[in-house]
Amino acid sequence: MHVIVGLGNPESRYAKTRHNAGFMVVDRLAARHAPGEPLRSRFHAGTVEARIGSARCVLVKPTTYVNRSGLSVSEAMAFYKADPASDLVVITDDVALEPGEIRIRASGGTGGHNGLVDIERALGRTDYSRIRIGIGATPPMMNQADYVLGRFTPEEWESVDPAIDRAADAAECIVSEGVTPAMNKFNTRSARGRAADEAPGDTHPGWLGETNDQPGRGSS
């Protein structure tokens, strides 16, 4: 069973915010492969099982807020006895990528994203596929939590909407063909994104540090 997890915040007030890009991809996948199927509440998440090509998959939207995503992911992985290296795909937003860019990696650091930090804590490993969707850098003098919890501007959405579709295509490719073919086919990079990938520690200032019980950049 392939476990495809989109990161985001569960309350309706966070719908279609930048930080919910992962949820949006899972919604697209559900519309394609399980149309009309209701979400089932389990693993501290809303889930739906689907078949993508010949691959059996469960689509997962954690209801724990982003910074506690590890609970949902670890429960789903344990239930299906799945191997993170071959069976897990995590989809998340990324301020190091321009709106409209996506980036696939087979493993790696958290980039300072607290959802990935918590998944790494819960699983005790980093060798799982992740799809990162660009939401653009936080504007100068703006609080990062306010930025990521805000909605895309109409201009940004023109780039992000097709990127959500490409990220869904990439997830399909990962479970059908493997992560390496998906990286070769879908990775797109700007100069700023390449520089972020090459930065020591693979971290982004300001991404960490909020408390774990308040919606915001750290917990949301």
Residues acting as catalytic residues: 19
Torsions phi, psi for 110 (to 5 deg): -90, -15
Distance CA(59)–CA(39), nearest Å, equals 9
Burial group, residue 108, by CB count within 10 angstroms (0-12, 13-18, 19+): middle
Tokens of 79: 């239930």
Query: In terms of DSSP H, where are the helices of the chain?
Result: 21-33, 69-80, 84-87, 114-123, 144-148, 154-177, 179-186, 191-198
Query: CB of 59 within 8 A of CB of 4?
Result: yes
Dig out the tokens for 151 from the structure: 């909605």
